[in-house]
Amino acid sequence: MRDLLLSVALGQVLSLLICGIGLTSKYLSEDFHANTPVFQSFLNYILLFLVYTTTLAVRQGEENLLAILKRRWWKYMILGIVDIEANYLVVKAYQYTTLTSVQLLDCFVIPVVILLSWFFLLVRYKAVHFIGIVVCILGMGCMAGADVLVGRQQGAGENKLIGDLLVLGGATLYGISNVCEEYIVRNLSRVEFLGMIGLFGSFFSGIQLAIMEHKELLKVPWDWQIGLLYVGFSACMFGLYSFMPVVIKKTSATAVNLSLLTADLYSLFCGLFLFHYKFSGLYLLSFFTILVGLVLYSSTSTYVAQDPRVYKQFRNPSGPVVDLPTTGQLEPSVTYTSLGQETEEEPHVRVA
């Protein structure tokens, strides 16, 4: 029970960080007319570069920055671009569609993560996991319904189809990034993941900033209040990126994305005091419904089937490639691992 509650609590810390990101972004865009999503992401990637990429640079041996780049540079380059564009597409969607549409369609990241985990990480789920996922999504639907009832459908809603497609694209890229992150932090290291994201993220977001947002950045009415908001945004974003690999390693990418469903509710509760949003009892119902779904999902372990015929390593082999024998039947192994509640002993089962 202690580990179960800890897993749920860790996910809620991530949600609170996302709440801070949303609040600072709202103040910047609405109160100070500073619409600079690429620049805000660029600041985060620069912080990751200064902390984690430099850490890799001073390491020795196989964990050194140059050694990692020599073996896996193109994979991290693709992952960096995916991470940048996932953030950009979802933020851009707010210009075309409503807040409710973004909240609902952003849930598309959950089936994306489940499918990618099933086929590439070979994670296998039990019935209780799917029940927990459905309960979480029902809670999210309850929140969207409350938004409609109290009239909180913020956003222009013009060119809604474009906005909805942008959200779906961003959610898909988020799913790809999260599953890759789970594999890397489990098999390589958290510092390597963050250092490479910082390196390629700062490079490519800097290029995107120079091309798409340099004029908007010049329009920002700089003063100490705007400076504090940018600092607050960067601190929350840096904390989110630094802490998320820890939570993903203890739980899973799917569990983390289910936990993040409560982030919109935390933003709403803050908005009741800061922006005078209207309150509805359905918001509380939604919050507790999502928490119940999280507890259901985390109450039992998933398991990982490791089959040498389909499991592809992210790490490059250091030695010569050895072909698997073609004669005889290959036996995949199924290993139960604790992605939710920890157990004293984890059974290992061999299946034909």
Domain-wise residue ranges, the chain: 1-301
* SS3 (DSSP) at 158: coil
| Residue numbers in the chain where pLDDT is lower than 50 | 308-352
Question: What pLDDT, on the 0 to 100 scale, is given for residue 153?
Answer: 57
Residue 68 vs residues 55, 63, 300: alpha-carbon distances, Å: 13, 6, 36
Rounded Cα–Cα distance for residues 296 and 131 (Å): 7
Question: What pLDDT, on the 0 to 100 scale, is given for residue 327?
Answer: 42
Question: What pLDDT, on the 0 to 100 scale, is given for residue 350?
Answer: 39
Question: What pLDDT, on the 0 to 100 scale, is given for residue 157?
Answer: 52
Rounded Cα–Cα distance for residues 209 and 329 (Å): 54
Rounded Cα–Cα distance for residues 33 and 269 (Å): 23
Residues 257, 49 contacting (CB under 8 angstroms): no
Rounded Cα–Cα distance for residues 218 and 33 (Å): 12
The span from the first CA to the last CA of the chain, in angstroms, equals 34
Question: What pLDDT, on the 0 to 100 scale, is given for residue 307?
Answer: 54
Strand partners, 334: 305, 349
Task: Please tell me the pTM assigned to this model.
Answer: 0.81
Which tokens in the block code for residue 216?
């908007």
Residue 208 vs residues 41, 59, 229, 289: alpha-carbon distances, Å: 11, 30, 22, 40
Rounded Cα–Cα distance for residues 298 and 343 (Å): 13
